[in-house]
Amino acid sequence: MRLAVTGATGFVGGAVCRAAAAAGWPVTAFGRRAAADPEHIGGARYRSWDIAAGKLAEPPDVDAVVHCAASATDTGVAREVWRTNLLGTHHVLASFPGCRIVHVSSASVYDPYRPTVRAKEHEAPVSRYLNVYAAAKAAAEQLVRAVAREAIVLRPHAVYGTGDTTLLPRLLENVRGNRLLVPGNGTVLVSMTEVGSLARACLLAAAAETVPSGVFNIADSAPVTIDWAVRGLLASAGVPARPAYLPAGLLSPLARVFPGGRLNRYVISQFAMERSLDITAAIDRLGYEPAPTAFPPP
C-alpha cells in the first residue's frame, strides 16, 4: 500500500507515518516545514508542501492519502483557519484525484450547544458552531464527501499520547500554581482517542477493500470522566497540580466578553457537557479494535 500523509510533521501525521512504516508501507510524507525529523516520520520520504498555497506539483503515485494537515487552533485568525482547513483540503483532493482519501476530521463537528451522548455519525455536521475551527472542519468534511468517491472520514476526540502538541499544552496553559482551572464539575463523560489507535484506524481506512466510503467516530473503548482524564494527563506530564472546577454558568458571561481567552465558550462546552462517541460503526465496518484510555508515564 503506497501512502501519502499530509501534516506529517504534526502530532497525528507523524504517528500515521510511523505506523505505516512499521507495517512496511512505502510512505511519502508532506508538511509545511522545509525538513522533517526522519525519526518522527518513520524514515519516510519527505517533501515540503503548504497545502493552503496550491496544488502539489508532480504528486507521487500512491494508492491512498491520509489527510492530517489542519490548523488545530480554536482561537486563530478566521481567514487562516479557513484557508488551511478548507482551501487546503481542496488542494489535497485536486492533487490526488482517484485516490482513496482518508480525511482526519474532528468530533468538534458535533453540536457544541448540547451534550453529545454516545453520538452517532449521522448527527453531524450541524448548522451552528462556537468557533471557526469546528465550522471549517465541518465544511471540509462535506467537501471531501462531495468530491472524493472513495473517501473515509474519521472523527477522533481529545487525541492524546506521547508527543502531544495540542491537548496537553492547552491544559497546562490554565495551570495556576498547583491548580488547573477547569470548567464544569468534572463528572461528565468524555471520549478520548489515543494517537496510536487513531493511526491504526487511518491505516485500516486506507487499506479497506469492503468499505467504499463513510464517516467513523474513532475513540478509546469507553468514555471516562473529565476529572479522571484531567488527573491522568497532569500525572503523565509530571505536573503536581490538581483540577479546580469552575461553574460553567459563571464562566460563560466572561467568555462572551473575552472570546479570545483560553476559557472561551468552545472550551467551556468541551469540559462542562458530555462529549462521548459511539464507535460501533468503526468496530463493525473497519475492524477497529479500541483500547482503554491510558496515559503514558512522565
Cis peptide bond prior to 125, omega within 30° of 0: yes
174 or 224: whose pLDDT is higher?
Answer: 224
User: How sure is the predictor about 259, in pLDDT bands with cuts at 50, 70 and 90?
Assistant: very low
> 206-211 long-range contacts, Cβ below 8 Å, gap at least 24?
206/1, 206/3, 206/63, 206/64, 206/66, 206/100, 206/102, 207/1, 207/64, 208/152, 208/286, 211/152, 211/285, 211/286
Range in 44-48, 69-73, 239-243 with the lowest mean pLDDT = 69-73
The 3-state secondary structure of 194-245 reads EHHHHHHHHHHHHHCCCCCCEEEEECCCCCEEHHHHHHHHHHHCCCCCEEEE
The CA distance from 22 to 7, in Å, is 18
What is the model's pLDDT at position 258?
43
pTM over 0.85: yes
Q: Tell me what the mean pLDDT of segment 85-105 comes to.
A: 97
Quote the percentage of the chain above a pLDDT of 90: 80
Mean pLDDT computed over 155-184: 91
The highest-level CATH class for domain 3-161+192-221+277-286 is alpha beta
C-alpha cell of 107?
A: 468530533
What is the pLDDT averaged over residues 141-152? 94
Residue 256 has pLDDT above 90, yes or no: no
**Range of weakest confidence among 223-227, 241-245, 250-254:** 250-254
Is residue 73 very low, low, confident or very high in pLDDT (cuts 50, 70, 90)?
confident
Q: What is the mean pLDDT of the chain?
A: 93
User: Taking the domains of the chain in order of start, what are their residue ranges?
Assistant: 3-161+192-221+277-286
- Across 196-219, average pLDDT: 95
